[in-house]
Amino acid sequence: CKPLDVSEALLATVRNALRQRKLVAERERLNGELADSNARMISSSEGGSSATASPPALIGPSMATRS
């Protein structure tokens, strides 16, 4: 390997790691927003639900996170 090839490979690795870190942070933020939204939906449906209304479908972080 040439020194330039090693430098380019290292740079690509660092860029990928930074991008991955950013994506993980975004996923955590979105999961938090989803949990908050689900909690609001549940609390609002408890107050005025009728016998014929079906419960809201909830998507939890386990379904939203995929490696």
Asked whether the beta carbons of 19 and 27 are under 8 A apart, the reply is no
Residue 53 pLDDT greater than 80, yes or no: no
Cβ burial of 27 (10 Å; 0-12, 13-18, 19+) is middle
Q: How confident is the model at residue 60 (pLDDT cuts 50, 70, 90)?
A: low
> Which residue type, as a one-letter code, is found at position 26?
E
Q: What is the pLDDT of residues 5-51, one digit of tens each?
A: 999 999 999 999 999 999 999 999 999 999 999 999 999 998 755 55
Determine the pLDDT at residue 4.
82
Asked whether the beta carbons of 45 and 56 are under 8 A apart, the reply is yes
Determine the pLDDT at residue 61.
61
